[in-house]
Amino acid sequence: MSEINNKNLIVANWKMHKSIHAAQQYIHSFMQLEELERSSINCDVVFCPPVTLIQVLKEAGMVVGAQDCCAFSEIEGAFTGDISAQMLKDVGCQYIIVGHSERRKYHQESNELVKQKIANVHKAGLIAIICIGETLNQREDEDYKQILLKALEEGMPESANDRNTIIAYEPLWAIGTGKTATIDQIAEIHQYLLEKSLSRFAFSPKIIYGGSVNLENSQAILDISNVSGLLIGGASLNPEIFYKIIKIANKNR
Ligand code: PGA
């Protein structure tokens, strides 16, 4: 089972992308690069593909995670379409992303629901990656830091600690838009989240950044002192680009 350490954590969030064939081609290219470069990967790399591909990536030797899990505490039951954290563990997942903004937006997931899901992730003995972020309107009109804090306060179960919980700061206006937050904006929020986590929950979680991360900006983002990794959507779908970002993260710590 994975343990949270001080290496960079690079998470590929494939969202709803790739057939089995496309995933196999990806793995083939990815592994060829690894062999060609003869460089050992020195940061933690986790692939969070659609559920249909977890087994494919696991069998290829990758560390895998899921993009969501069931909110009900039952391990099995009459919950059509749901998959429990325990079942995801059974198929080899070590991490589960919870509360991604697309789940919050398209499935109306609340902080309370996110909290139940994270508690289930912990009960299964897995690591939760809790996503929080503000919309553009919130950043412009309101005290958006309070919104981030509220998401944490309402979404963090008592079972959370620095060994089973990672925070992913993903400003919504930067996800899939090509707009990245500035280095100062990211540094400020990561520092804020770290301080608040310590004062409210008495632990310092690993905090990773997500939102239009690409080959051009990953170095500068990873150079920020409280950024401990990246949650990458679009740029993780291309094995060459993703591998290059991993190499940057390798050097970084
Ligand atoms: P993006 O997605 O890298 O495509 O912006 C990030 C995410 O949604 O986790």
pLDDT band of residue 140 (cuts 50, 70, 90) is confident
Q: For the residues 197-223, what does the mean pLDDT come to?
A: 95
Would you say residue 206 has pLDDT above 80?
yes
Determine the atom of ligand 1 nearest the C-alpha atom of 234: 4
Would you say residue 116 has pLDDT above 70?
yes
Could you read off the pLDDT of 71-91 as tens digits, one per residue?
Answer: 999 999 999 999 999 999 999
Would you say residue 2 has pLDDT above 90?
no
Mean pLDDT over the full length of the chain: 94
Written as one string, the DSSP assignment of 168-224 is EE--GGGTTSS----HHHHHHHHHHHHHHHHHHHSS--EEEEESS--TTTHHHHHTS
Burial-class residue 99 by CB neighbours within 10 Å (0-12, 13-18, 19+): buried
pTM of the model as a whole: 0.96
Would you say residue 28 has pLDDT above 80?
yes
Is residue 212 within 8 Å of 180, Cβ to Cβ? Answer: yes
Catalytic residue positions? 100, 170
Could you read off the pLDDT of 47-73 as tens digits, one per residue?
Answer: 999 999 999 999 999 999 999 999 999
The lowest-confidence range among 5-9, 84-88, 236-240 is: 5-9
Choose which residue among 96, 212, 242 to substitute to test ligand 1 binding: the one with the highest number of ligand atoms within 8 A of its C-beta.
212
* Pocket, ligand 1, Cβ cutoff 6 A: 13, 170, 175-176, 210-213, 231-235
